Structure 1
Amino acid sequence: VLFAVRWARTRRGIARGVLESLRAGGSVSVPVGSVLTQVNLKKHAGYRLGDSADLLLARV
């Protein structure tokens, strides 16, 4: 399952609830991944999370 979350559009509570319901599936183990789309790179880089957003911003 690939779960796409849109920056500044998908509410955290909804995203969290969907992921929790996928995890609560029980005995069947389904791989779950997520992707954050349409990210505001300038704002994200300002959070200083230590990820590669600053490298992506340099390319823009």
Structure 2
Amino acid sequence: MTDGKASRLRPSRLTGCRKRLGTHIPPPALSRAIQALERAVGVPLLVRRSHATELTVAGWALIA
């Protein structure tokens, strides 16, 4: 994926993504919004690890 959105989502931490996207949403609110979106679409969009967060195949498909 080489479009603008995908390249802005490359940082492996949500904080890095927030900064690159220029959003002022607090991390807990962003996390809750992503979880709500995952519930709405019925699949995980992110793989969360202790020090990194990555898009799943469904996450990449959503932003494509």
Give me the TM-score of the superposition, normalised by structure 1.
0.31
- Higher Rg: 1
Greater share of helix: 2
Give me the TM-score of the superposition, normalised by structure 2.
0.30
Greater share of strand: 1
